[in-house]
Amino acid sequence: MTDITATSAGSAAASPGRTLVGLFGAAGPLIALILLMLVGALMSDSFLGAENLSNVFTRSAIIGIIAVGATFVITAGGLDLSVGSLSALVAGMTIMFMNSAAATLGDGWQLVAAGILFSLAIGAFAGFINGFMIVRGRVEAFIVTLGAMGIFRSVITWLADGGSISLDFSLRDAARPIYYGQVLGIAVPIIVLAVIAVIGELTLRRMRFGRHVAAIGSNRHVAFYSAIPVSRVRILTYVIQGLCVAVATVIYVPRLGAATPSTGLMWELEAIAAVIIGGTALSGGFGRIWGTIVGVLILGFISNILNLTGFVSPYLNGAFQGAIIIIAVLLQRDRAQG
Amino acid sequence: MALLTFRDIAKAYGTVPVLKGIDLVVEPGEVLALVGENGAGKSTLMRIAAGLAPPSSGTMLLDGAPAPASLHAAERAGIVMVHQEFCLAPHLTVAENVFLGREITRGLFTDRKAMETRARDLLAELGSAAPVRARLRDLPVSDWQMIELAKAFARQPKLILMDEPTAVLSATEAGNLFARMRAFRAAGGAVIFTSHRLDEVKAIADRVAVLRDGQIVRVERAHDISEDAMAEAMVGRPLAEIYPPRRGAAARKPLLSVAGLTAPGAVEEATLEIREGEVLGISGLVGSGRTELFEALFGLRPAKCASFMLRGEKRRLPAAREAWGLKLAYLTEDRKGKGLLLGKPLAENVALTSGAIAGAAWIDRRAERRGLEAAVGRYDIRTGRLDVTAGALSGGNQQKVLIAKTLGVEPDLVVFDEPTRGVDIGAKQQIYDIIAGLAAAGKAIVVISSEMQEIVGLSDRVLVMRRGRIAGELSGEGITETDIIRFAMGLEEKDPQEEASH
């Protein structure tokens, strides 16, 4: 699936595909992941155990799903900083909805289905508003989503009255399988992530829509002059991002059964970091979902290794993520210039 | 002794020569005008003199010594340039702009009062009463030009280079500038300026140098050369044999008739007819509204019109994507900025527009590859491998990819905007053949070009634009470069002064 000839990421350089450097650049994140896993295996005996790996994958699924949406946004030359707060808002509102709808829908699968639809609707709507403000209102994506980040976070804090919003205990059993369930021995979140990643990769790489997303990120004027519906596609990337946040939240809610003002804190950093580590161009024009998934796993394993070894305090996890995102962009820049 | 001497100066960008063997001398106390068609090399020569671009070969002397090679060194040596595009800071005040980088200081702090007083004097010398404390962004563009000029004079230079200084000035303001230039000349200063207004050149310049294709073809004292003689020298050379043979004039059916098309700030009340099987040339100076006219027509910029008749049916102006669906295609002049995705593979570029109009949701890569192979054969796109990015090709081959991309939607009307810009002579001829072939196949063709020869060589009919209006129409044997220039520069009008004050 690695389209090696497309790695020049919008730069005017000739295709670097067949050169060793180009190949290394394309597979770079994968090599980093393998090296990281070797380090993990050397430092901890339990690292390569099925339980630990499954645990890391499951935990990474939530950020991974959000990061798939972020790959679309960033490939189109946009940015969405509001994903973490949106996730908290969707979680809180969905829990409130389920608690109050339980009287009419009962505590079975109907309620869970209604809850899922409800959160998807909120996610899509919030994404649409973000996209509409950015595209039609012509406000910088950075500003719109920074504002939205503050708004969503403070609304959920207000709804929760500073505390937490909990799913009624009687309902938790119905929602539980979404996070803790398994199909053929594989945790549900991993399956959901895999499905979304495959759909995302095919959409971005093989469908007209994905072509247009990359064209807009590569050069918006060229896209406009090439009869591409630029505004519609740009707004849709934010809607996709909102939907991905909603799906991730649906998986997240049963894990703790509650939403708090700190739900989803710094998820935007992790999601954007995963996208950039995966080789998607921060300035837009080239994106790859499989790279994003590799990026998410790199972040997940770093956190895991910190937890397992106690070599460095896990509290410094955010510092590692922050440093990695800067280094990844630094490497991207050098590649573009070279 | 000569102030500035160019000796065998040549300049090339990549392999494209822009200036060839320029020999020119500027004396102190002299106003020298550079005239020539767009792309003749005037701005490049000015940039070299200002230290902004090094010449590829040749020597340049200032006061007999090697001339400074950087902008800052040139400024220190007394050469300043007034750019066509403004180099001003919109958020600073007028006085701050005039003294930008040369602030008058008292102790640690800038002396605002002194700068304001001095700026007011400098502007008054140019007949401008622009408020020195106002922020630049609040002032009209003609004030900006005056401030740019005041900034240049504030440097107390020996030589001022002015690129189209009067382009945005009214007749009165231009008159004030000329008075200032005369005073500067009387004090021993020298000026080199470019202008498209030949009447101005005649009025203010001591000498005129005519540039054509990067060479100086004629240098005369201003009172020894008429405006018409200047225009002839700018174009005067026989048409090369690279143009396809002319087709006989036939009665041609109109495809598109537009009346009263207005795009705010760019095009006013344009009325035109585009016919099947005909090449319609659009000429005029840069900024005369040529590109904007067709962008307005195809929904690429806001506009309104009195009537829009396509294939005999009245309808409203199409929106951006609608125009493509109506088989109206626009091939942009800005190949890198608006035409091609330089970092993407050729096949993707060729299929981009047609795919966006009528492509299936799922991309058929094999079909795209076949489309590219067909385009490579048909338009003679020269590339070693087919899987390279568009940016890896030469200008001419990029242009052919852009043509393949645009014609991929099989349009009935194609607007070629500067189809041969930055293209070598061989590719040029091929592009002309493509254009002629389309016209012969009954397509309606529009060619917008700054190259007068191209317009004359290709067109069955020509519209000349001037300041957003269609200034004149020429057809058949009546298409001559001299007539085009006369329309484009407004020489046909009885009273250019009155026209200038609009």
The complex scores an ipTM of 0.80
Neighboring chain B residues of A211 at a CB cutoff of 8 Å: 348, 352, 355, 363
Q: CA separation (Å) from A37 to A47, A57, A67, A213? A: 8, 13, 21, 33
Tens of pLDDT, residue by residue over A89-120, are 999 999 999 989 888 887 778 888 999 999 99
Map tokens 């394993």 to a residue. Answer: A301
Distance, CA of B116 to CA of B110 (rounded, Å): 11
Q: How far is B367 from chain A (nearest CA, A)?
A: 13
Most A CBs within 10 Å, among B338, B354, B402, B403, to test the A interface: B338
* Contacts A–B by Cβ distance under 8 A: 96
The two tokens of residue B444 are 């309606």
Q: CA separation (Å) from A115 to A14, A96, A126, A193? A: 50, 10, 17, 19
CB-CB under 8 Å, B321 with A219: no
Neighboring chain B residues of A14 at a CB cutoff of 8 Å: 388-389, 391-392
The answer to whether A68 touches A296, Cβ cutoff 8 Å, is: no
The answer to whether A15 touches B387, Cβ cutoff 8 Å, is: yes
Tens of pLDDT, residue by residue over B469-483, are 888 888 888 888 888
Tens of pLDDT, residue by residue over A15-67, are 334 444 455 567 778 888 888 889 888 888 888 888 888 889 988 999 999 99
* Sign of the alpha-carbon torsion through B144, B148, B149, B154: positive
Most B CBs within 10 Å, among A212, A225, A228, A231, to test the B interface: A225
DSSP-H helix ranges across B247-298: 290-297
Percentage, residues of chain B above pLDDT 90: 28
Give the chain A residue whose CA is nearest to the CA of B340: A222
Return phi, psi of residue B62, to 5°. Answer: -120, 120
Of A11, A209, A225, the CB nearest to B343: A11
State the pLDDT confidence band at A282, using cuts at 50, 70 and 90.
Answer: confident
pTM, two decimal places: 0.75
Q: How far is A201 from chain B (nearest CA, A)?
A: 13
Task: Give the H/E segment covering residue B46.
Answer: helix B42-49
The stretch B265-290 carries a mean pLDDT of 88
Distance, CA of A183 to CA of A194 (rounded, Å): 13
Tens of pLDDT, residue by residue over B31-88, are 999 988 766 788 889 989 988 888 989 999 988 888 888 888 888 899 999 887 778 8
CB-CB under 8 Å, A224 with B357: no
Neighboring chain B residues of A18 at a CB cutoff of 8 Å: none
CB-CB under 8 Å, B387 with A219: no
